[in-house]
Structure formats: structure tokens, C-alpha cells
Copies of this chain bind each other. A is one copy, B any other.
Amino acid sequence: MANKGKTFIIAGPSGVGKGTIIDRLFKVQPDLYFSVSATTRAPRPGEQDGVHYHFLTREQFASWIEEGAFLEYAEFVGNFYGTPKRYVDEAMAAGRDVILDIEVQGAELVHRQRPETVRIFVAPPSWEELERRLLHRGTEDPEKVRGRLIRSREEFLLARYYDYLVINNDLDRAVEEIRAIMMAEHCRAGDRYDSLGSVLREPV
């Protein structure tokens, strides 16, 4: 079996620039599959089912949970959000790499189910810089930003146990590093040795 895709988790604090990094990855590698979450929240104007979210009723979501159809799910402000296994698996079977842009709690759940998932933590150059970026957005009041920073610094303790740590100091460099990580992971000897089939593995 040749060239199955791999799943890459891109986690990191809110405001660190994951969205921008992922947009850039798609520009240079348009065959990536960006996992679309399922949710019980009502669609907002302009949101399309299957594009922005897979919109499910609470009953549907509950039965997906029952069937083990999620890689991870969580409740947030009264609504459920989850990563469906199915689309991830279809993409990988088709040889496409998958990007999961999820929170660190979700990343832990995915990694427990699938330890072969590659985890990349994106960190800011400094906490002061992250605060500056969050305040610059202007969408949240300084008190909430302060709360986010405290949580981010706690979450950073997990970064040490990730596979890779990328500092988003320079966007070009961060994207280059993530692309190198993705290419290197496809060179892993264990997988590649098995996928060579009989060409090189035939007995001497």
C-alpha cells in the first residue's frame, strides 16, 4: 500500500497565528485536508454545512458519540463540537495529509486514541508578544485577554511532550518548519520500510 496520508495536529494558544499558518500551508499544498468539525450550534448566516461545520442535531451528535464516530468532542457554552473520524480517514486513505486545528484538550484526546498522530505545538516568541497580538485584535476586553494568557501559559507545560515545537516568530520560517516536519514524517523508516512492498524487501 503506497503513500497513505498522515494526520498532523496543530495546537497552540489562541492568538498565536495558527489560522494564518494553516492558510499558507494550503496555498503551497492544496491537497491537504483541513478537518471540518461537527457541531450542534445553529448555522450563522453564510455558513455552509460540510464547509464551515457539519451541522448536527443534538440527537445526531449523541448517536455519533455512541457509535464512537469522533476523534474528540467537547461541550462549549451549551453546544457540542467534535472531530468526525470518517472524513479524516477517507482523506488519509486517499493519500492526503490531514490538518487538525484543535485545542490542547482535544489534542490529548486524539493522541490517546491515535498515538501515531503527529503533534505540533505552535508557541509565541514571548508571552508579552502574545498579549500584544490579542489586544491588537481588539475583539476582547483586556480582562479576558489576561485570563487567556494565564491558561495559555499553563497549557504550554504540555508542549514539552509534543513531537514538535514551532515558535511563530517569523511566519515564513514557521511555515517552512511545519512543511519540513510533514515531509520528514513521510520519511520515517518504520512506515516506509513496510510500504516498499516486495521491491527491496524480497529475501536475499
List A residues at the B interface (Cβ < 8 Å): 120-121, 123-127, 150, 153-154, 156, 159-167, 176-177, 179-181, 183-185, 187-190, 192-194, 196, 199-201, 204
Contacts and interface: CB of A to CB of B under 8 A. Distances in A.
A126 B187 contact: no
Contact of A154 (B123, B193, B204): B204
Contact of A187 (B166, B188, B200): B166
Contacts of A177: 183-184, 187
- By Cβ-Cβ distance, the 4 closest A-B pairs, closest first, are A184-B184, A180-B183, A180-B180, A160-B193
Contacts of A126: 199-200
A181 B195 CA distance: 19
A187 B185 CA distance: 12
B204 A150 contact: yes
A163 B183 contact: no
Given A180-B180, A181-B184, A183-B177, A189 B164 contact: yes
Contacts of A184: 164, 177, 180-181, 183-185
22 contacts: A120-B187, A123-B196, A124-B200, A125-B199, A126-B199, A126-B200, A153-B204, A156-B200, A159-B193, A164-B187, A164-B188, A165-B187, A165-B188, A166-B187, A176-B183, A177-B183, A177-B184, A180-B180, A181-B183, A181-B184, A184-B184, A184-B185
